[in-house]
Amino acid sequence: MVQMTIEMPEGALAALRKDPEGFKKELRIAAAVKWYELGEISQGRAAEIAGLSRAEFILALSRYRVSPFQYESADELIREAEGG
Using pLDDT thresholds of 50, 70 and 90, give the confidence band for residue 72.
low
Domain spans of the chain? 18-81
d(CA 79, CA 62): 24
User: What pLDDT score was predicted for residue 57?
Assistant: 97
Terminal CA-CA length for the chain: 38
pTM of the predicted structure, to 2 decimals = 0.80
Asked if 54 and 47 touch (Cβ cutoff 8 Å), the reply is: yes
pLDDT at position 43: 94
Fold (topology level) of 18-81: Arc Repressor Mutant, subunit A (1.10.10)
DSSP string, 15-46: HTT--HHHHHHHHHHHHHHHHHHTTSS-HHHH
**6-59, pLDDT tens digit by residue?**
898 888 888 889 899 999 999 999 999 999 999 999 999 999 999 999 999 999
- Residue of higher predicted confidence among 70 and 53: 53
| Residues ≥6 apart with Cβ < 8 Å to 20 | 13
